[in-house]
Amino acid sequence: MRSTFKVLFYLKRDKQKSNGMIPLYCRITVDGQEARFGMKTDVNPKYWDVETGKATGRTADASKTNALVDSTKAAIYKVYRELQEHDSYVTAEKIKNVFLGIEAKKQTLLELFDCHNNERKELIGINFSKSTYQKYFITRKLVADFILYKYNLHDISIKEVNHQFISDFEAYLLSRHNYSRNNVTTLLKKFRHIIEVALNKEWIFRNPFKDYRMQWQKVDRGYLTQSELEAIIDFQFEEERMEKVRDIFIFCAFTGLAYTDVKHLTNNNIQSSIEGSLWIRGNRKKTGTEYNIPILNIPKMILEKYKGKTKGELLLPVYVNTHYNVLLKKMAQMCGISKNISSHLARHTFATLTLTKGVSIESVSKMLGHTNIKTTQIYARITDNKISNEMNILAGKLKGIETKYAANY
């Protein structure tokens, strides 16, 4: 659909000078939006035809004015045609700026990243998590590295980001950095958000991610079996720090709390139900989603163990995540467990353990604070124990048929 475009010349009568002359102005209109600028010449209103937008008479001044009007109009039409051919959108203001030689400041990709990230940094702990900020920070660095690698530039205009740019960036992450498919998709989602910010600011008018497919690779999330959990519980650690690490991991494995949520756990999160049982209630730091978890005996004992032994209002002695993960790997080695244990593995273990023991997926989803039950379904793996338990239940229900078959056999 072609835009409506008009160029009009008029006298700005509210600016009439003491000698009776009035400044001549030009008005550009595109789709109802206007941009105006002065022609830097004055006209006697007696010799101005409003309908034609030109000076009347055969004087030298009239000829000079009309020549200026004609040349300006032709130049503006030329700018309009060129912008239509080469730009994604045309506005009256853009036509005016190009005609007058006003170079609009180019909005660049990395500047937008920096602006976004600096704003989000101020919101850490308010409505933005540090881990999410770090993902945007890493994405920005990788985009900058890619621009330098691909184009030998330190930044590019936001308008230069197209489908090919995204595709090349994805290939760069997979080949040069050897990221997994899911890590690449996570980074691309952060990049897509930055592009959406540019759209909202009207720096661009087409979303290069619109038809771009980002793929998730289905993975089997690790977890610990009941026997492996028992091995960790039974192990006698000589170092106090290893004992603390074990207790925090086991606490998460029996509550499903993520690292950041257990780290910030306080008495405000421990509440009694109408029946008198204790629950952990709160909102996930990552998503803000509510979670409600009945406290089993093992988590109760761990809370009691560290009562009055932690700093401030915090209930548990949780180490910094990077240090915690290092110690978890040491713990696994000491307990004879070959699996790659991390802080999040405890949450996976809780999900798998509860589902295997017959807790409904709806209840598990609520306890984990998932916003979508599809996320919980990732953990609903079919284990040998689950199959065995369910078949034993079925066998009990088939006793009558088995008895009849045995009598006739």
| 262: helix, strand or coil | helix
Q: Which of 175, 143, 165, 161 is CA-nearest to residue 206?
A: 161
Question: For residue 398, what pLDDT is reported?
Answer: 66
Q: What is the pTM of this model?
A: 0.55
Rounded to whole angstroms, the Cα distance separating 367 from 167 reads 38
Burial class from Cβ neighbours inside 10 Å (0-12, 13-18, 19+) for residue 135 reads: middle
* Six-digit token string for 264: 């910030």
Rounded to whole angstroms, the Cα distance separating 259 from 377 reads 21
Beta bridge partners of 26: 9, 37
Rounded to whole angstroms, the Cα distance separating 250 from 81 reads 69
CB atoms within 10 A of CB 181: 16
* pLDDT tens over the chain, length 409 residues: 467 899 999 999 999 999 999 999 999 999 989 999 999 999 999 999 999 999 998 899 999 999 999 999 999 999 898 888 766 578 898 899 888 877 555 678 999 999 999 999 988 877 777 878 899 999 999 999 999 999 888 988 888 899 999 999 999 999 988 888 888 999 999 999 999 999 888 788 789 998 888 887 665 568 898 899 999 999 999 999 999 999 999 999 999 998 989 999 999 999 988 888 899 998 887 777 888 888 999 999 999 999 988 888 999 999 998 899 999 999 999 999 998 888 889 988 998 888 888 888 888 888 888 877 776 776 665 555 666 666 777 777 766 666 655 565 5
Place of tokens 């984990």: 368
Residues 6+ apart with CB under 8 A from 262: 248, 251, 252, 255, 316, 318
Indicate the DSSP class of residue 288: -
Indicate the DSSP class of residue 239: S
Q: What are phi and psi of 52, to 5 degrees?
A: -90, -20
Amino acid occupying residue 171:
A
Query: Any idea of the CA torsion for 166, 170, 173, 179, to the nearest 10 degrees?
Result: 140
